[in-house]
Structure 1
Amino acid sequence: MNFDRLPPALAKALEGHGYERLTSVQDAVSKDEARGRDLLVSAQTGSGKTVAFGIAMADELLAGGELQRSHTPQALVIAPTRELAQQVSRELAWLYAETGARTVTCVGGMDPVKERKQLERGADIVVGTPGRLRDHLERGKLDLSELSVVVLDEADEMLDMGFREDLEELLDATGQNRRTLLFSATMPRAIESLAKRYQDDALRITTMGEKRGHGDISYQVVTVTQSDVENAVVNLLRYHDAETAILFCATRDNVKHLHATLSERGFSAVALSGEHSQNERNNALQALRDRRARVCVATDVAARGIDLPSLTLVIHVEIPRDAETLQHRSGRTGRAGKKGTAVLLVPYPRRRRVEGMLRQAQIPAEWIDAPTPEVIREMDRERITEQLLAPVEVDEEDRVIARKLLETMSAEDLAAAFVRSQRLAKPQPEELLDPTSRPPQRGKRAGFEDNVWFRLDVGRHDHAEPRWILPVLCRRGGVSSDAIGQIRITDRETYFEIPRTMAERFEKSAQRTLKSDSDEFEARARIEVANEVPDEVRNRRPRGEYRGEGGGGYEPRSNKGYEGRHRKPFGRPHGGGRPEGGRPKSGGYPKKGKGYSARPSPKPHNG
């Protein structure tokens, strides 16, 4: 496929950028039937959409083959996030470099005064986010009256993010003769409604397959226990050994927690969420591009617009809220004809929901088991062998050191030492529980057949209750509620179970959080392995105790006379019997004015 249909300046730019042919969407918008018309384009992320609408707007910008200068912008491109807007601006800059087109980027987080000065000096193409563009428009610094073409990139995501009012104000400020190009990975009803209002006889272009949105992405589903989500992430990263991977979490707090966990385990990771400044986000992305980091932990919104050619693995640490979010997340990989893998981590009880989501998205997925340490070690052997047998260039200094080492040890010992250093440099894989196993007996959950008892030096004397202790254990140990077995409270102490496979990690996390915990009650509570467990604790469950997630929950106990006490109980009274901050299974929240705070606990990390 050649570039005969394109203006010479654009054809030259594409050839200079290494293009040998146009992608499907680029070819479709350059055809005669698409020229001069409004376009409604559905194409997968990474298919070359930016260059496609750059080509589509050429007829308006390059009338007669040359750029038509004007005091007001001729083209406007609206994108949902700062990163995507900046990426679009860079792409259009090199595509129109031969024409001398002036491109101005207007995004939140950057200096608005500088942007206004650039707009006053003149701009041919303006690229920005809805909020910042609307701000310039209302201040009279952005004149859209003479606009020839407007592009809405990732239009579905902008509507999902609540930018409809901003988009409508921007589009209403444009002239009636402008072209409107809508590009979107999906076409929900909201997009069709927007198209009917602002487009006239739009040409519908679809370059995605009918059965799934990303033909170059291999989808896999891994079922795990809730307590093993982080361990499964570790094993997946180790198994795939991707050059760059992105992990999606639902909230900022979960991003922060998972990023800290992976960094502690030895992964070179960065985080992206709404709490990070623009400079922090730029530094994180640059670290990924420079290969100083290989893992990015992000929220959905923060990851919009990320374009990393080396990204081959996406892990949905927490289940996407719907099929469209699944496709948007997964679309960070499998871009521009490259292959990628998207893995969904699914707690076993929620597998039905994921099955329905995949059917809705018409995406075939392979249901597999999480990689085991044995499989990962076998992969390590193959990779290390391949790496060591690959030809490398060495200088004389390398040979001097090698000869000196050979004088003191055999070649086999030297090779073994080097192999060991390669193995130890990699994070260790984790043992995982079987998510499908069932309790062998009442009161015991799978994974608690072999357990470790821990001791907390707080008991009934401190007015401790399971509904307050459970969130504390989850926070301090960095686990979710189903990792806690039976909880048994005595007068001065509390004993609880942790699966042996998680005991060492739980103990380290509990000691680490003790040093940084600012709560006076939690700070004085010491968690340690119980070397001796009283027989009455091990063999008998006192009345009213909590059996843990594996033991059937609470037994009723009378609270008579307790509510009227004015002494503050152990820790902050956390809202309810579950660490998620939901309603307790009995008794309700402690009432204000009775010596308690009704403030619910923060959510512990659940993925």
Structure 2
Amino acid sequence: MTFKELEIIEPVLMALNEKGYITPTDIQQQAIPPALDNRDILGLAQTGTGKTAAFSLPIIQQLYQGKNNSKKREIRALILTPTRELAIQINECLTDYTKFTDIRHCVIFGGVKQNTQVRELKQGIDILVATPGRLLDLMSQGIINLNSIRHFVLDEADRMLDMGFIHDIKRLLPKLPKHKQTLFFSATMPQSIDKLSRSILHNPVKVEVAPVSSVVETIEQYIYFVEKQEKKDLLINLLKKDGRKSVLVFSRTKHGADRIARILCKAGIESAAIHGNKSQNARQRALANFKSNDIRVLIATDIAARGIDIDQLELVINYDLPDVPETYVHRIGRTGRAGNNGTALTFCAQDERMMLKDIQKLTGVILPTASN
């Protein structure tokens, strides 16, 4: 099946073809047709499955074909997401998809001054991508009005809950029009998220892709058993021997991420760290340099890495094992996307053996030991 067979309109098809997107992913094939029929969607999908296109393409098409009877341009679609990085990533995708249309969009998030965001909003937009805190803040200032919303996307609902945004969402929901299309996406469905989805969705179409534990089967995975103090030397040796251009390294702590970046830079390997203590501008600059291959290695903590979506990311290295087994799957799932090959290497010290055991139990995969 192709995007054309999904009856995507010509301006969007042109943009997709220009980016080389021809074959829809599973979540896109399931979600786009009912979404184009203006049905509510309950989507169970991990990051990296193509869900951004699954919800944004139908919205763009409906806005493009619909009429805006207002004399001024008003916000007609709201995409709510838990992190700045993910909001920025979605907005970048919208830039690609709307290239041959007159649809305007912008992104707002906290951690930076609001002036530039407010200026863009006042110029008039059709689609708003937002994190909850900044959205409610600008609404309270009277800068944003949601009365004209026709499409509402709640993305990564389970992470919204994990990050404490559930109360912000409950404050926001009554301010949205009663009659609208709602597209609700979550990687997992705990009781609280199930309850929330039932309260805001009307007769939804449920779409679901492979559960978290099966994603890892498409990625080559290897483990290195190494003492903690030897990890830095192993990392340097691997990076010097390996010719891959883009490598994402995961550290369990902010301090550890900074330390790894200093060690690599000292060894002559271009790298940068991103984590919660870095300013938003510093994080965006590091991510932009990584995407443009100005730096080869990006070191990230798990929270900072949310929303990182890099085409053809070739290698993920777990410098530290995560405390939560599911986090391992989210980490390595950032490589091997959209049919590309991906590799994940994990460094395991003696005191991390129990974490490894939990990861292998979750995934059902016994990681093969790598040969140096």
User: TM-score with structure 1 length normalisation?
Assistant: 0.57
Please state if 1:367 is matched with 2:352: no
| d(CA) in 2 for partners of 1:194, 1:240 | 46
CA displacement at 1:157 relative to structure 2:
2.4
Change beyond 3 A, Cα 1:310–1:293: farther
Change beyond 3 A, Cα 1:363–1:113: farther
CA displacement at 1:82 relative to structure 2:
2.1
Letter in structure 2 aligned against 1:75? A
| d(CA) in 1 for partners of 2:294, 2:176 | 44
Please state if 1:318 is matched with 2:320: yes
| d(CA) in 1 for partners of 2:10, 2:173 | 31
- Aligned equivalent of 1:290, options 283, 286, 292: 292
Change beyond 3 A, Cα 1:148–1:365: farther
Do 1:224 and 1:346's aligned partners in 2 also have CA atoms closer than 8 Å?
yes
| d(CA) in 1 for partners of 2:35, 2:100 | 26
Do 1:319 and 1:344's aligned partners in 2 also have CA atoms closer than 8 Å?
yes
Deviation track 1:313-354 (CA, whole Å, cap 9, x = no partner) reads 111222212133222222221122212122232222432332
Do 1:45 and 1:335's aligned partners in 2 also have CA atoms closer than 8 Å?
no
Do 1:243 and 1:310's aligned partners in 2 also have CA atoms closer than 8 Å?
no
Corresponding residue for residue 281 of structure 2: 279
Change beyond 3 A, Cα 1:349–1:252: closer
Do 2:35 and 2:41's aligned partners in 1 also have CA atoms closer than 8 Å?
no
Do 1:84 and 1:305's aligned partners in 2 also have CA atoms closer than 8 Å?
yes
| d(CA) in 2 for partners of 1:199, 1:214 | 31
Query: Percent identity, aligned pairs only?
Result: 33
- Aligned equivalent of 2:148, options 146, 149, 154: 146
Corresponding residue for residue 353 of structure 1: 355
Q: Aligned ranges for residues 76-155 of structure 1 at < 5 Å?
A: 76-155=78-157
Letter in structure 1 aligned against 2:157? A
| d(CA) in 2 for partners of 1:118, 1:69 | 21
SS of structure 2 residue aligned to 1:212: helix
Q: Aligned ranges for residues 91-240 of structure 1 at < 5 Å?
A: 91-208=93-210, 211-240=213-242
CA displacement at 1:26 relative to structure 2:
1.7
Corresponding residue for residue 48 of structure 1: 50
SS of structure 2 residue aligned to 1:85: helix
Deviation track 1:418-463 (CA, whole Å, cap 9, x = no partner) reads xxxxxxxxxxxxxxxxxxxxxxxxxxxxxxxxxxxxxxxxxxxxxx
Do 1:217 and 1:334's aligned partners in 2 also have CA atoms closer than 8 Å?
yes
Letter in structure 1 aligned against 2:349? P
Corresponding residue for residue 255 of structure 2: 253
| d(CA) in 2 for partners of 1:332, 1:325 | 11
| d(CA) in 2 for partners of 1:286, 1:117 | 23
Q: Aligned ranges for residues 549-568 of structure 1 at < 5 Å?
A: none
Please state if 1:68 is matched with 2:68: yes
Deviation track 1:508-556 (CA, whole Å, cap 9, x = no partner) reads xxxxxxxxxxxxxxxxxxxxxxxxxxxxxxxxxxxxxxxxxxxxxxxxx
Question: Which protein is bigger by CA-based radius of gyration?
Answer: 1
Change beyond 3 A, Cα 1:290–1:9: closer
| d(CA) in 1 for partners of 2:323, 2:232 | 20
5+ residue gaps, structure 2: none
Do 2:154 and 2:184's aligned partners in 1 also have CA atoms closer than 8 Å?
yes
Do 2:152 and 2:182's aligned partners in 1 also have CA atoms closer than 8 Å?
yes
| d(CA) in 2 for partners of 1:213, 1:34 | 27
Q: How many residues align?
A: 368
- Aligned equivalent of 2:265, options 263, 266, 291: 263
Q: CA RMSD in A?
A: 2.4
Letter in structure 2 aligned against 1:366? L
| d(CA) in 1 for partners of 2:343, 2:192 | 29
SS of structure 2 residue aligned to 1:13: helix
Corresponding residue for residue 335 of structure 1: 337
Corresponding residue for residue 505 of structure 1: none
CA displacement at 1:125 relative to structure 2:
0.3
Deviation track 1:63-97 (CA, whole Å, cap 9, x = no partner) reads xx245364531111122222221221121123123
Change beyond 3 A, Cα 1:272–1:67: farther
Letter in structure 1 aligned against 2:369? I
| d(CA) in 1 for partners of 2:68, 2:207 | 28
CA displacement at 1:191 relative to structure 2:
2.9
User: TM-score with structure 2 length normalisation?
Assistant: 0.89
5+ residue gaps, structure 1: 373-607
| d(CA) in 2 for partners of 1:76, 1:105 | 10
Do 1:85 and 1:129's aligned partners in 2 also have CA atoms closer than 8 Å?
yes
Q: Aligned ranges for residues 508-519 of structure 1 at < 5 Å?
A: none
CA displacement at 1:59 relative to structure 2:
6.0
Corresponding residue for residue 501 of structure 1: none
Larger relative contact order, structure 1 or 2 (CA cutoff 8 Å, min sep 6): 2
CA displacement at 1:260 relative to structure 2:
0.9
- Aligned equivalent of 1:10, options 2, 12, 17: 12
SS of structure 1 residue aligned to 2:100: helix
Change beyond 3 A, Cα 1:193–1:324: farther
SS of structure 1 residue aligned to 2:214: coil
